[in-house]
Structure 1
Protein backbone atom coordinates (compact mmCIF):
# COMPACT_ATOMS: atom_id res chain seq x y z
CA UNK A 1 0.00 0.00 0.00
CA UNK A 2 1.28 3.47 -0.87
CA UNK A 3 0.86 6.03 1.86
CA UNK A 4 -0.36 9.54 1.03
CA UNK A 5 2.56 11.87 0.45
CA UNK A 6 1.86 13.95 3.59
CA UNK A 7 2.40 10.84 5.72
CA UNK A 8 5.86 10.24 4.30
CA UNK A 9 7.43 13.62 3.54
CA UNK A 10 6.86 15.41 6.85
CA UNK A 11 4.56 18.08 5.43
CA UNK A 12 1.82 19.45 7.69
CA UNK A 13 -1.40 19.06 5.64
CA UNK A 14 -3.46 21.50 7.70
CA UNK A 15 -4.59 24.81 6.19
CA UNK A 16 -2.04 27.59 6.68
CA UNK A 17 -4.22 29.56 9.10
CA UNK A 18 -4.55 26.47 11.33
CA UNK A 19 -0.78 25.95 11.30
CA UNK A 20 -0.17 29.59 12.21
CA UNK A 21 -2.69 29.36 15.05
CA UNK A 22 -0.99 26.17 16.29
CA UNK A 23 2.40 27.88 16.51
CA UNK A 24 0.98 30.93 18.28
CA UNK A 25 -1.06 28.72 20.60
CA UNK A 26 2.09 26.90 21.66
CA UNK A 27 3.80 30.22 22.43
CA UNK A 28 0.85 31.28 24.56
CA UNK A 29 0.59 27.99 26.42
CA UNK A 30 4.34 27.72 27.08
CA UNK A 31 4.60 31.33 28.29
CA UNK A 32 6.53 32.69 25.33
CA UNK A 33 3.64 35.11 24.95
CA UNK A 34 2.67 36.03 28.49
CA UNK A 35 -0.80 36.93 29.75
CA UNK A 36 -1.58 40.48 28.72
CA UNK A 37 1.15 40.56 26.07
CA UNK A 38 0.36 41.78 22.58
CA UNK A 39 0.34 39.27 19.77
CA UNK A 40 2.78 40.14 16.97
CA UNK A 41 1.28 42.59 14.51
CA UNK A 42 -0.37 41.44 11.31
CA UNK A 43 2.63 42.76 9.36
CA UNK A 44 5.04 40.79 11.54
CA UNK A 45 2.99 37.61 11.22
CA UNK A 46 2.68 38.05 7.44
CA UNK A 47 6.46 38.20 7.16
CA UNK A 48 7.08 35.36 9.59
CA UNK A 49 4.64 32.94 7.99
CA UNK A 50 4.64 34.28 4.40
CA UNK A 51 0.87 34.59 4.57
CA UNK A 52 -1.82 37.00 3.43
CA UNK A 53 -3.75 39.41 5.63
CA UNK A 54 -6.85 37.21 5.38
CA UNK A 55 -4.94 34.11 6.46
CA UNK A 56 -3.44 35.89 9.46
CA UNK A 57 -6.85 37.18 10.50
CA UNK A 58 -8.32 33.68 10.30
CA UNK A 59 -5.51 32.37 12.50
CA UNK A 60 -5.97 35.10 15.11
CA UNK A 61 -9.73 34.56 15.08
CA UNK A 62 -9.16 30.91 16.01
CA UNK A 63 -7.22 32.03 19.09
CA UNK A 64 -10.03 34.42 20.00
CA UNK A 65 -12.61 31.66 19.59
CA UNK A 66 -10.52 29.49 21.92
CA UNK A 67 -10.47 32.26 24.57
CA UNK A 68 -6.70 32.48 24.35
CA UNK A 69 -6.64 35.99 22.88
CA UNK A 70 -8.84 39.07 23.02
CA UNK A 71 -9.12 42.14 20.85
CA UNK A 72 -11.30 43.98 18.43
CA UNK A 73 -10.93 45.35 14.93
CA UNK A 74 -8.43 48.19 14.79
CA UNK A 75 -6.94 47.39 18.22
CA UNK A 76 -4.03 45.25 19.32
CA UNK A 77 -4.83 41.63 20.09
CA UNK A 78 -3.53 40.48 23.47
CA UNK A 79 -3.15 37.19 25.30
CA UNK A 80 -6.09 36.76 27.61
CA UNK A 81 -5.37 36.88 31.32
CA UNK A 82 -5.55 33.69 33.42
CA UNK A 83 -6.38 31.42 30.51
CA UNK A 84 -4.12 28.45 31.08
CA UNK A 85 -4.58 27.09 34.59
CA UNK A 86 -2.31 24.73 36.45
CA UNK A 87 -4.06 21.94 38.35
CA UNK A 88 -2.23 20.04 41.07
CA UNK A 89 -4.10 16.77 41.59
CA UNK A 90 -2.21 15.82 44.76
CA UNK A 91 -4.56 17.90 46.91
CA UNK A 92 -7.78 16.49 45.51
CA UNK A 93 -8.38 14.06 48.40
CA UNK A 94 -8.23 16.74 51.07
CA UNK A 95 -11.56 17.37 52.83
CA UNK A 96 -13.02 20.86 52.93
CA UNK A 97 -13.12 22.82 56.14
CA UNK A 98 -16.55 23.76 57.48
CA UNK A 99 -18.10 26.34 55.19
CA UNK A 100 -15.06 26.44 52.90
CA UNK A 101 -14.91 25.88 49.14
CA UNK A 102 -13.97 22.36 48.12
CA UNK A 103 -10.15 22.27 47.84
CA UNK A 104 -10.28 21.11 44.21
CA UNK A 105 -12.56 24.02 43.31
CA UNK A 106 -10.25 26.49 45.02
CA UNK A 107 -7.35 24.86 43.19
CA UNK A 108 -9.09 25.24 39.85
CA UNK A 109 -9.82 28.89 40.49
CA UNK A 110 -6.24 29.56 41.67
CA UNK A 111 -7.62 31.99 44.24
CA UNK A 112 -8.38 34.59 41.58
CA UNK A 113 -11.67 33.55 40.09
CA UNK A 114 -15.13 32.40 41.06
CA UNK A 115 -15.48 28.62 40.75
CA UNK A 116 -18.79 26.80 41.06
CA UNK A 117 -19.98 23.23 40.79
CA UNK A 118 -23.38 22.42 39.30
CA UNK A 119 -24.76 18.97 40.00
CA UNK A 120 -26.26 17.74 36.72
CA UNK A 121 -27.48 14.28 37.66
CA UNK A 122 -27.25 11.48 40.23
CA UNK A 123 -28.31 7.90 39.68
CA UNK A 124 -27.35 4.27 39.28
CA UNK A 125 -25.98 3.51 35.81
CA UNK A 126 -24.44 0.62 33.91
CA UNK A 127 -20.68 0.99 33.51
CA UNK A 128 -18.30 -0.61 31.04
CA UNK A 129 -14.74 -0.14 29.81
CA UNK A 130 -12.01 1.38 31.95
CA UNK A 131 -14.46 2.69 34.55
CA UNK A 132 -15.85 -0.79 35.13
CA UNK A 133 -12.35 -2.26 35.28
CA UNK A 134 -11.24 0.36 37.81
CA UNK A 135 -14.29 -0.47 39.95
CA UNK A 136 -13.37 -4.15 39.84
CA UNK A 137 -16.15 -4.99 37.36
CA UNK A 138 -14.22 -5.99 34.21
CA UNK A 139 -17.35 -7.54 32.70
CA UNK A 140 -19.45 -4.47 33.43
CA UNK A 141 -21.92 -3.73 36.18
CA UNK A 142 -23.74 -0.94 37.98
CA UNK A 143 -22.44 2.04 39.91
CA UNK A 144 -23.85 5.21 41.42
CA UNK A 145 -22.80 8.14 39.24
CA UNK A 146 -22.65 11.79 40.23
CA UNK A 147 -22.22 14.14 37.27
CA UNK A 148 -21.07 17.72 37.84
CA UNK A 149 -20.06 20.64 35.65
CA UNK A 150 -17.38 22.93 37.04
CA UNK A 151 -17.53 26.55 35.90
CA UNK A 152 -14.96 29.29 36.45
CA UNK A 153 -15.98 32.91 35.99
CA UNK A 154 -19.23 31.63 34.48
CA UNK A 155 -17.49 29.57 31.79
CA UNK A 156 -17.68 25.74 31.74
CA UNK A 157 -14.30 24.35 32.73
CA UNK A 158 -14.59 20.65 33.54
CA UNK A 159 -17.12 17.83 33.20
CA UNK A 160 -16.82 15.42 36.14
CA UNK A 161 -18.37 11.96 36.46
CA UNK A 162 -17.77 10.23 39.80
CA UNK A 163 -18.72 6.56 40.22
CA UNK A 164 -19.21 4.69 43.49
CA UNK A 165 -19.81 1.00 44.27
CA UNK A 166 -23.55 0.62 45.00
CA UNK A 167 -22.91 -1.21 48.26
CA UNK A 168 -21.12 1.91 49.52
CA UNK A 169 -23.32 4.62 48.00
CA UNK A 170 -26.87 3.33 48.33
CA UNK A 171 -28.80 4.99 51.13
CA UNK A 172 -26.17 7.72 51.60
CA UNK A 173 -25.74 11.30 50.39
CA UNK A 174 -23.67 9.93 47.50
CA UNK A 175 -26.89 8.68 45.94
CA UNK A 176 -28.87 11.85 46.62
CA UNK A 177 -29.29 14.75 44.14
CA UNK A 178 -27.55 17.37 46.26
CA UNK A 179 -24.05 18.64 46.83
CA UNK A 180 -22.13 16.93 49.62
CA UNK A 181 -20.99 19.07 52.52
CA UNK A 182 -17.20 18.81 52.71
CA UNK A 183 -17.04 16.83 49.48
CA UNK A 184 -16.83 13.10 48.85
CA UNK A 185 -13.51 12.60 50.77
CA UNK A 186 -15.22 13.79 53.95
CA UNK A 187 -18.30 11.64 53.42
CA UNK A 188 -16.32 8.53 52.46
CA UNK A 189 -14.27 8.90 55.63
CA UNK A 190 -17.46 9.26 57.69
CA UNK A 191 -18.80 6.08 56.07
CA UNK A 192 -15.69 4.17 57.12
CA UNK A 193 -13.87 4.32 53.78
CA UNK A 194 -11.24 7.05 54.22
CA UNK A 195 -9.39 7.80 50.96
CA UNK A 196 -5.80 6.64 51.36
CA UNK A 197 -4.36 7.06 47.88
CA UNK A 198 -5.38 7.71 44.30
CA UNK A 199 -4.02 6.80 40.89
CA UNK A 200 -4.50 8.89 37.75
CA UNK A 201 -4.46 7.84 34.12
CA UNK A 202 -4.39 10.83 31.76
CA UNK A 203 -4.95 10.89 28.03
CA UNK A 204 -5.57 13.48 25.33
CA UNK A 205 -8.63 12.77 23.21
CA UNK A 206 -11.02 14.37 20.77
CA UNK A 207 -14.16 15.39 22.64
CA UNK A 208 -17.35 13.37 22.41
CA UNK A 209 -20.51 15.21 21.34
CA UNK A 210 -21.63 15.41 24.95
CA UNK A 211 -18.29 16.81 26.14
CA UNK A 212 -18.09 19.25 23.24
CA UNK A 213 -21.51 20.66 24.05
CA UNK A 214 -21.13 20.78 27.84
CA UNK A 215 -17.74 22.49 27.70
CA UNK A 216 -18.65 24.74 24.75
CA UNK A 217 -15.47 23.77 22.99
CA UNK A 218 -14.23 25.64 19.91
CA UNK A 219 -13.20 23.47 16.98
CA UNK A 220 -11.39 20.14 17.02
CA UNK A 221 -9.08 20.80 19.95
CA UNK A 222 -8.30 17.85 22.23
CA UNK A 223 -9.55 17.43 25.76
CA UNK A 224 -7.61 16.13 28.73
CA UNK A 225 -9.29 13.07 30.22
CA UNK A 226 -8.26 11.95 33.69
CA UNK A 227 -9.40 8.59 35.02
CA UNK A 228 -8.84 8.70 38.78
CA UNK A 229 -9.19 5.67 41.02
CA UNK A 230 -9.41 6.31 44.77
CA UNK A 231 -8.49 3.55 47.20
CA UNK A 232 -9.32 3.12 50.87
CA UNK A 233 -7.95 0.66 53.44
CA UNK A 234 -6.94 -2.68 52.01
CA UNK A 235 -6.66 -1.09 48.56
CA UNK A 236 -10.43 -1.19 48.18
CA UNK A 237 -11.71 0.97 45.33
CA UNK A 238 -14.22 3.47 46.72
CA UNK A 239 -14.44 6.02 43.93
CA UNK A 240 -13.64 6.26 40.22
CA UNK A 241 -13.84 9.68 38.62
CA UNK A 242 -13.57 10.74 34.99
CA UNK A 243 -12.62 14.41 34.59
CA UNK A 244 -12.65 16.06 31.18
CA UNK A 245 -11.31 19.56 30.59
CA UNK A 246 -10.29 21.61 27.55
CA UNK A 247 -6.75 20.58 26.68
CA UNK A 248 -5.66 24.02 25.51
CA UNK A 249 -6.60 25.73 28.78
CA UNK A 250 -5.05 23.44 31.41
CA UNK A 251 -1.87 21.74 32.46
CA UNK A 252 -1.46 19.18 35.24
CA UNK A 253 1.40 19.46 37.70
CA UNK A 254 2.74 16.44 39.57
CA UNK A 255 5.62 16.32 42.03
CA UNK A 256 7.65 13.20 42.71
CA UNK A 257 10.26 12.19 45.25
CA UNK A 258 12.59 9.17 45.12
CA UNK A 259 11.34 6.20 47.08
Structure 2
Protein backbone atom coordinates (compact mmCIF):
# COMPACT_ATOMS: atom_id res chain seq x y z
CA UNK A 1 0.00 0.00 0.00
CA UNK A 2 1.32 3.44 -0.94
CA UNK A 3 2.40 5.68 1.90
CA UNK A 4 0.36 8.80 2.57
CA UNK A 5 2.11 11.85 1.18
CA UNK A 6 0.90 15.40 0.62
CA UNK A 7 2.02 17.91 -1.99
CA UNK A 8 3.21 20.84 0.11
CA UNK A 9 3.44 23.29 -2.77
CA UNK A 10 1.18 26.34 -2.79
CA UNK A 11 -2.07 26.22 -4.77
CA UNK A 12 -0.77 28.49 -7.53
CA UNK A 13 2.33 26.32 -8.00
CA UNK A 14 0.13 23.22 -8.41
CA UNK A 15 -2.07 24.96 -10.96
CA UNK A 16 0.95 26.24 -12.87
CA UNK A 17 2.38 22.70 -12.92
CA UNK A 18 -0.81 21.30 -14.47
CA UNK A 19 -1.02 24.01 -17.11
CA UNK A 20 2.71 23.77 -17.84
CA UNK A 21 2.42 20.06 -18.51
CA UNK A 22 -0.51 20.64 -20.88
CA UNK A 23 1.57 23.20 -22.78
CA UNK A 24 4.83 21.25 -22.99
CA UNK A 25 3.06 18.03 -24.03
CA UNK A 26 0.93 19.68 -26.71
CA UNK A 27 -2.53 19.56 -25.13
CA UNK A 28 -2.52 23.37 -25.13
CA UNK A 29 -0.85 24.27 -28.45
CA UNK A 30 0.74 27.61 -29.34
CA UNK A 31 -1.92 30.24 -29.89
CA UNK A 32 -4.53 28.49 -27.75
CA UNK A 33 -6.50 30.76 -25.46
CA UNK A 34 -6.77 29.82 -21.81
CA UNK A 35 -10.15 29.89 -20.06
CA UNK A 36 -11.02 33.13 -18.29
CA UNK A 37 -9.98 33.74 -14.69
CA UNK A 38 -13.54 33.04 -13.34
CA UNK A 39 -13.61 29.73 -15.22
CA UNK A 40 -10.20 28.73 -13.85
CA UNK A 41 -11.29 29.81 -10.36
CA UNK A 42 -14.24 27.45 -10.54
CA UNK A 43 -12.23 24.66 -12.15
CA UNK A 44 -9.56 24.65 -9.44
CA UNK A 45 -11.64 25.93 -6.53
CA UNK A 46 -9.34 28.84 -5.74
CA UNK A 47 -9.44 32.63 -5.51
CA UNK A 48 -8.71 34.91 -8.42
CA UNK A 49 -5.38 36.03 -6.95
CA UNK A 50 -4.24 32.39 -6.90
CA UNK A 51 -5.09 31.97 -10.58
CA UNK A 52 -3.23 35.18 -11.43
CA UNK A 53 -0.13 33.99 -9.54
CA UNK A 54 -0.16 30.73 -11.50
CA UNK A 55 -0.52 32.53 -14.83
CA UNK A 56 2.24 34.96 -13.92
CA UNK A 57 4.62 32.07 -13.28
CA UNK A 58 4.00 30.74 -16.77
CA UNK A 59 4.34 34.19 -18.31
CA UNK A 60 7.77 34.51 -16.69
CA UNK A 61 8.65 31.15 -18.23
CA UNK A 62 7.57 32.55 -21.63
CA UNK A 63 4.91 29.88 -21.99
CA UNK A 64 1.98 32.30 -21.76
CA UNK A 65 1.40 35.84 -22.94
CA UNK A 66 -1.39 38.24 -22.02
CA UNK A 67 -3.15 40.30 -24.68
CA UNK A 68 -5.01 43.27 -23.17
CA UNK A 69 -8.70 43.10 -23.83
CA UNK A 70 -8.47 39.62 -25.35
CA UNK A 71 -7.14 37.17 -22.76
CA UNK A 72 -4.17 34.91 -22.04
CA UNK A 73 -2.70 32.78 -24.82
CA UNK A 74 -0.11 30.02 -25.11
CA UNK A 75 3.12 31.53 -26.35
CA UNK A 76 5.50 28.63 -25.90
CA UNK A 77 5.07 25.25 -27.47
CA UNK A 78 5.82 21.64 -26.85
CA UNK A 79 9.32 20.88 -25.63
CA UNK A 80 11.87 20.62 -28.40
CA UNK A 81 13.55 17.24 -28.71
CA UNK A 82 17.33 17.25 -29.04
CA UNK A 83 19.04 14.11 -30.39
CA UNK A 84 22.63 14.09 -29.09
CA UNK A 85 23.92 11.54 -31.60
CA UNK A 86 23.48 13.90 -34.58
CA UNK A 87 26.04 16.29 -33.08
CA UNK A 88 28.76 13.71 -32.46
CA UNK A 89 30.28 13.10 -35.94
CA UNK A 90 32.94 15.70 -36.76
CA UNK A 91 31.91 18.36 -39.27
CA UNK A 92 33.29 17.89 -42.77
CA UNK A 93 36.14 20.01 -44.08
CA UNK A 94 35.05 23.64 -44.30
CA UNK A 95 31.66 22.86 -42.76
CA UNK A 96 30.23 24.73 -39.76
CA UNK A 97 29.90 23.35 -36.25
CA UNK A 98 27.12 20.77 -36.21
CA UNK A 99 25.06 22.78 -33.72
CA UNK A 100 24.70 25.39 -36.46
CA UNK A 101 24.18 23.03 -39.42
CA UNK A 102 21.61 20.90 -37.58
CA UNK A 103 19.68 24.00 -36.51
CA UNK A 104 19.61 25.10 -40.13
CA UNK A 105 17.98 21.80 -41.12
CA UNK A 106 15.13 22.62 -38.70
CA UNK A 107 14.84 26.16 -40.10
CA UNK A 108 16.33 27.53 -36.90
CA UNK A 109 19.29 29.82 -36.39
CA UNK A 110 22.03 28.28 -34.30
CA UNK A 111 24.87 30.28 -32.80
CA UNK A 112 27.55 29.95 -30.14
CA UNK A 113 29.08 32.43 -27.70
CA UNK A 114 32.42 31.43 -26.23
CA UNK A 115 32.62 32.49 -22.58
CA UNK A 116 35.93 31.18 -21.34
CA UNK A 117 39.00 29.10 -22.15
CA UNK A 118 41.32 28.13 -19.31
CA UNK A 119 43.61 25.44 -17.95
CA UNK A 120 41.98 24.22 -14.75
CA UNK A 121 41.86 21.43 -12.23
CA UNK A 122 38.48 19.91 -13.15
CA UNK A 123 35.74 18.86 -10.72
CA UNK A 124 36.04 15.43 -9.11
CA UNK A 125 33.80 13.46 -11.47
CA UNK A 126 35.47 15.00 -14.52
CA UNK A 127 38.91 14.01 -13.20
CA UNK A 128 37.62 10.49 -12.65
CA UNK A 129 36.24 10.23 -16.18
CA UNK A 130 39.48 11.54 -17.70
CA UNK A 131 41.61 9.33 -15.42
CA UNK A 132 43.40 12.35 -13.94
CA UNK A 133 45.16 12.59 -10.59
CA UNK A 134 43.68 14.83 -7.89
CA UNK A 135 45.79 17.74 -9.10
CA UNK A 136 45.54 16.80 -12.79
CA UNK A 137 44.66 19.56 -15.22
CA UNK A 138 42.53 19.87 -18.33
CA UNK A 139 41.48 22.57 -20.76
CA UNK A 140 38.04 24.02 -20.08
CA UNK A 141 36.05 25.55 -22.93
CA UNK A 142 32.82 27.15 -21.71
CA UNK A 143 30.18 28.38 -24.12
CA UNK A 144 26.48 29.17 -24.52
CA UNK A 145 24.60 27.61 -27.42
CA UNK A 146 21.66 29.54 -28.86
CA UNK A 147 18.66 28.68 -31.02
CA UNK A 148 16.99 31.68 -32.65
CA UNK A 149 18.92 33.94 -30.27
CA UNK A 150 17.51 32.21 -27.17
CA UNK A 151 20.05 30.61 -24.79
CA UNK A 152 19.55 26.86 -25.05
CA UNK A 153 22.54 25.18 -23.44
CA UNK A 154 25.42 26.11 -21.17
CA UNK A 155 28.25 23.79 -22.15
CA UNK A 156 31.35 23.31 -20.01
CA UNK A 157 33.69 20.93 -21.83
CA UNK A 158 36.98 19.57 -20.53
CA UNK A 159 39.79 18.13 -22.67
CA UNK A 160 42.97 16.30 -21.60
CA UNK A 161 45.84 18.76 -21.54
CA UNK A 162 47.99 16.43 -23.63
CA UNK A 163 45.48 16.51 -26.48
CA UNK A 164 44.83 20.24 -26.34
CA UNK A 165 48.35 21.64 -26.03
CA UNK A 166 49.58 23.30 -29.19
CA UNK A 167 46.11 23.43 -30.75
CA UNK A 168 43.36 26.03 -31.19
CA UNK A 169 41.60 24.49 -28.18
CA UNK A 170 43.99 26.49 -25.99
CA UNK A 171 43.00 29.78 -27.61
CA UNK A 172 40.04 31.96 -26.73
CA UNK A 173 38.42 31.80 -30.15
CA UNK A 174 35.89 29.67 -31.95
CA UNK A 175 37.13 26.60 -33.80
CA UNK A 176 35.95 26.01 -37.36
CA UNK A 177 33.81 22.89 -37.25
CA UNK A 178 34.13 22.70 -33.46
CA UNK A 179 36.47 20.68 -31.24
CA UNK A 180 35.24 17.28 -32.60
CA UNK A 181 36.62 18.21 -36.03
CA UNK A 182 39.93 19.36 -34.53
CA UNK A 183 40.30 16.20 -32.45
CA UNK A 184 39.50 14.03 -35.47
CA UNK A 185 42.24 15.81 -37.45
CA UNK A 186 44.66 14.96 -34.63
CA UNK A 187 43.73 11.28 -34.90
CA UNK A 188 41.19 11.13 -32.07
CA UNK A 189 37.77 10.88 -33.72
CA UNK A 190 34.75 10.36 -31.44
CA UNK A 191 33.64 6.72 -31.45
CA UNK A 192 31.14 6.56 -28.59
CA UNK A 193 29.66 8.64 -25.82
CA UNK A 194 27.94 7.96 -22.52
CA UNK A 195 25.30 10.33 -21.12
CA UNK A 196 24.04 10.56 -17.57
CA UNK A 197 21.03 12.90 -17.43
CA UNK A 198 19.63 14.37 -14.23
CA UNK A 199 17.30 17.16 -13.13
CA UNK A 200 18.99 19.55 -10.72
CA UNK A 201 18.61 22.90 -9.00
CA UNK A 202 20.58 25.39 -11.14
CA UNK A 203 23.64 27.24 -9.97
CA UNK A 204 23.74 31.02 -10.26
CA UNK A 205 25.82 30.96 -13.44
CA UNK A 206 23.32 28.57 -15.04
CA UNK A 207 20.38 30.81 -14.11
CA UNK A 208 22.12 33.84 -15.62
CA UNK A 209 23.43 32.12 -18.76
CA UNK A 210 20.12 30.42 -19.59
CA UNK A 211 17.93 33.31 -18.37
CA UNK A 212 15.93 30.93 -16.21
CA UNK A 213 12.74 31.91 -14.40
CA UNK A 214 12.62 31.56 -10.63
CA UNK A 215 12.60 27.99 -9.25
CA UNK A 216 13.08 26.34 -12.66
CA UNK A 217 15.35 23.27 -12.59
CA UNK A 218 17.89 22.45 -15.26
CA UNK A 219 18.37 19.24 -17.16
CA UNK A 220 22.03 18.42 -16.60
CA UNK A 221 23.86 15.99 -18.88
CA UNK A 222 27.20 14.54 -17.83
CA UNK A 223 28.75 13.31 -21.07
CA UNK A 224 31.95 11.36 -21.65
CA UNK A 225 33.17 11.05 -25.25
CA UNK A 226 35.52 8.21 -26.18
CA UNK A 227 37.85 7.72 -29.12
CA UNK A 228 39.61 4.54 -30.23
CA UNK A 229 40.60 2.05 -27.52
CA UNK A 230 38.02 3.62 -25.17
CA UNK A 231 40.24 6.64 -24.65
CA UNK A 232 38.27 9.55 -23.08
CA UNK A 233 38.81 12.69 -25.13
CA UNK A 234 36.12 15.00 -23.76
CA UNK A 235 33.93 15.34 -20.69
CA UNK A 236 31.09 17.87 -20.76
CA UNK A 237 28.56 19.25 -18.32
CA UNK A 238 25.59 20.41 -20.40
CA UNK A 239 22.81 22.41 -18.74
CA UNK A 240 19.47 23.10 -20.44
CA UNK A 241 16.23 24.72 -19.28
CA UNK A 242 14.14 21.77 -18.11
CA UNK A 243 10.81 23.21 -19.25
CA UNK A 244 11.86 23.84 -22.87
CA UNK A 245 13.85 20.83 -24.02
CA UNK A 246 13.94 17.07 -23.82
CA UNK A 247 16.57 14.54 -24.82
CA UNK A 248 15.76 11.99 -27.51
CA UNK A 249 17.76 8.76 -27.80
CA UNK A 250 17.30 5.97 -30.33
CA UNK A 251 18.93 2.69 -29.37
CA UNK A 252 18.83 -0.39 -31.54
CA UNK A 253 18.13 -3.56 -29.55
CA UNK A 254 19.69 -6.76 -30.88
TM-score, normalised via structure 2 length: 0.92
Match of 1:171 in 2: 166
Unaligned runs of 5+ in 2: none
The one-character-per-residue Cα deviations of 1:82-112 (angstroms, maximum 9, x if unpaired) are: 5621100111212234554422344457623
2:48 corresponds to 1:53 = yes
**Are residues 194 and 256 of structure 1, via their aligned partners in 2, closer, same or farther at CA, if it must alter by over 3 Å?**
same
Correspondence 1:48-127 to 2 at 5 A: 48-82=43-77, 84-97=79-92, 100-107=95-102, 111-127=106-122
Partners of 1:109 and 1:66 lie apart in 2 by 25
Unaligned runs of 5+ in 1: 1-7
Alignment coverage as a number of residue pairs: 252
- Could you say what the CA RMSD is over the residues aligned between the two structures, in angstroms? 1.9
TM-score, normalised via structure 1 length: 0.91
**Are residues 206 and 239 of structure 1, via their aligned partners in 2, closer, same or farther at CA, if it must alter by over 3 Å?**
same
Match of 2:217 in 1: 222
Tell me the SS of whatever aligns to 1:24.
Answer: helix
**Are residues 104 and 115 of structure 1, via their aligned partners in 2, closer, same or farther at CA, if it must alter by over 3 Å?**
closer
Q: 1:19 aligns with which of 10, 14, 17?
A: 14
Partners of 1:167 and 1:13 lie apart in 2 by 51
Contact 1:96 1:186 in 2 (8 A): yes
Tell me the SS of whatever aligns to 2:252.
Answer: coil
The one-character-per-residue Cα deviations of 1:203-238 (angstroms, maximum 9, x if unpaired) are: 100001111111111111110001111100100001
Q: 2:129 aligns with which of 127, 134, 137?
A: 134
